[in-house]
Amino acid sequence: MANSARRWASSITLTPSSHSSISLLPPLVLYRRLLRIHRSLPIEMRSLGDVYVKDEFRRCRAIENPIQIIGFLSQWKAYLDNLQNQNGEMGKKLPEDLLEKLSPEQVGQLFELLKATKEIWVDVDQPEPDHHTSNIVGFPARNIR
């Protein structure tokens, strides 16, 4: 078994772009890089992203299963690589096949994230009825006082 695994591993060739995605970072280094890359985002996206990253890393402190730890770190590293490789475009479409593979709990989390992002982004053309208006485009007036 070990010989076949070694042969299989040696047959894989890595391109520079795929090599960056494979290397895992220690949790604290990854956490800091994520918060640092969020500085390049618009303020609304940065605040949402920072809260989400901090919450996820806080929740996963107590995980002891190595497979879960590697999965957690690899997905956040892929997110970091995705943000670093964006050329002025924000985000990317979620492939249909990936959406079909999500568990009901993951679909629920994705829906909650969708609702949270829609609360933050307010259409600039439609002013809010509240008399407290925000000077910052994209922020609802109720969050800024």
Confidence of residue 78 (pLDDT cuts 50, 70, 90): very high
Whether 71 and 86 share a structural domain: yes
The mean per-residue pLDDT over the stretch 107-118 comes to: 87
Whether 80 and 106 share a structural domain: no
Give me the pLDDT at residue 115, please: 87
Cβ(36)–Cβ(10) below 8 Å: no
Give me the pLDDT at residue 143, please: 46
Cβ(73)–Cβ(82) below 8 Å: no
Judge whether 100 lies within some domain. yes
Query: How many distinct structural domains can be found in the chain?
Result: 2
Which value, to the nearest 10 degrees, does the dihedral of the CA atoms of residues 27, 28, 30, 31 take? 110
For residue 112, give its domain range.
93-145
Cβ(69)–Cβ(63) below 8 Å: yes
Whether 101 and 145 share a structural domain: yes
Residue carrying the six token digits 């957690």: 72
Give me the pLDDT at residue 14, please: 44
pLDDT score of 94 more than 70:
yes
Judge whether 41 lies within some domain. yes
Domain boundary among 90, 106, 134: 90
Whether 43 and 80 share a structural domain: yes
The mean per-residue pLDDT over the stretch 113-117 comes to: 83
Percent of the chain with pLDDT over 90: 37
pLDDT score of 15 more than 80:
no
Give per-residue burial for 54-76: e unless 16+ CB within 10 Å, then b: eeebeeeeeeeeeeeeeebbeeb
Composition of the chain by helix, strand, coil, percent to 5: 65, 0, 35
pLDDT score of 134 more than 90:
no
Judge whether 107 lies within some domain. yes
